[in-house]
Amino acid sequence: MTSTLARVSKIEDIEAGTAFDGLAEVYDEIFTNSLVGRAQRDEVWRTIERIFTVDDRILELNCGTGEDALFMAKRGNTVFACDASMQMIVAARQRLSKESSALPVEFCHMPIERIGGIVSEKKFDGVLSNFSGLNCVADLREVAANLSQVVRDGGKLLLCLSTRFCLAEMIYYLAQGNTRKAFRRCGGKASAVVGGIKMPIYYPTLRQLRKYFEPYFVVKSYSGVGVAIPPSYCEGWARRHDGLFEHLRSLERKLASVPLLRVSGDHILIRFEKVAGQ
């Protein structure tokens, strides 16, 4: 893993990285360790355990403070994890330094748009992008092309993106009389203030994602994340109604693969496979 990091070309910060720098110190508090964040991540981890074998070499995009990278490393994966935010990487490295034993994980400051600069002696067996990092990228066709160069034939991508049509969000904001927020995703692009910086967020449909990643990757399966579990801004509600929230967690696994519902949760989790020869 050290040779991989040493041979990554020099990069520059981009707006998304700067925006998320402002969240690094509080990200674990407001999401990673929240009831909603933990519940949604547990669903992704179940899929990770099913899709990636313990000896797979994994490239993680938008790794944040390292929660997923450390989980995968502890189960036996070798992980090269990157993020556009330098402060997120600083936090991830601090967490790694507190581990009692050396783990096969390396954290690198690198935005998704620059993954084509990775040069490695061996191609990756899999790629993880969790919780909407790809929604911050305007050109996913270029991301797909770059990933095709660093992932082996038959390798797996596990990508978790915010959906364009989130029923829970629509219901939540319509109940408050806020029509603008209720349908903010539906146009495919919206603006969000992250770390005090206004930035564009993109909401591709499943059909668009298939198109963006062809001909290099083919969709093998997909499911919803946050179908019954509400979005993260409902944390206060979840804590006030912990019994009902636990019921929704149980219901999540039953609904996550139901047609229509699986594309209208807070996120969609898609498994792609690398096409041989592409």
pLDDT digits (tens, 9 = 90+) for 127-165: 999 999 999 999 999 999 999 999 999 999 999 999 999
H/E run at residue 157: strand 151-162
User: Per DSSP, what are the bridge partners of residue 198?
Assistant: 193
How far apart are the two ends of the chain, measured CA to CA in Å? 25
- Which CATH homologous superfamily contains domain 2-274? Vaccinia Virus protein VP39 (3.40.50.150)
**Cα maximum dimension of the chain:** 55
H/E run at residue 23: none
18-72 confidence digits (pLDDT tens): 889 988 899 999 999 999 999 999 999 999 999 999 999 999 999 999 999 999 9
Q: Is 68 helix (H, G, I), strand (E, B) or coil?
A: helix
Buried b (16+ CB within 10 A) or exposed e, 25-61: eebbeebbebbbbebbbebbbebbeebbeeebbbbbb
Q: Is the pLDDT of residue 194 over 90?
A: no
38: Cα within 13 Å, side-chain hemisphere: 10
Q: How far apart are CA 107 and CA 92, in angstroms?
A: 7
Classify burial at 198, counting beta carbons within 10 Å of its beta carbon; exposed 0-12, middle 13-18, buried 19 or more. Answer: exposed
State how far the alpha carbon of 196 is from the alpha carbons of 134, 192, 203, in Å: 20, 9, 21
| pTM for this entry | 0.93
Backbone angles phi, psi at 149, to 5 degrees: -85, -20
- Position 249: which residue type? R
Share of the chain above pLDDT 70, in %: 95
Determine what percent of the chain falls in helix, strand and coil, rounding each to the nearest 5.
45, 25, 35
Domain residue ranges in the chain: 2-274
Q: Poorest-confidence range of 17-26, 93-102, 226-235, 255-264?
A: 17-26
Closest CA to 61 of 185, 150, 187: 150
Cβ atoms 95, 121 nearer than 8 A: no
Q: How far apart are CA 106 and CA 2, in angstroms?
A: 8
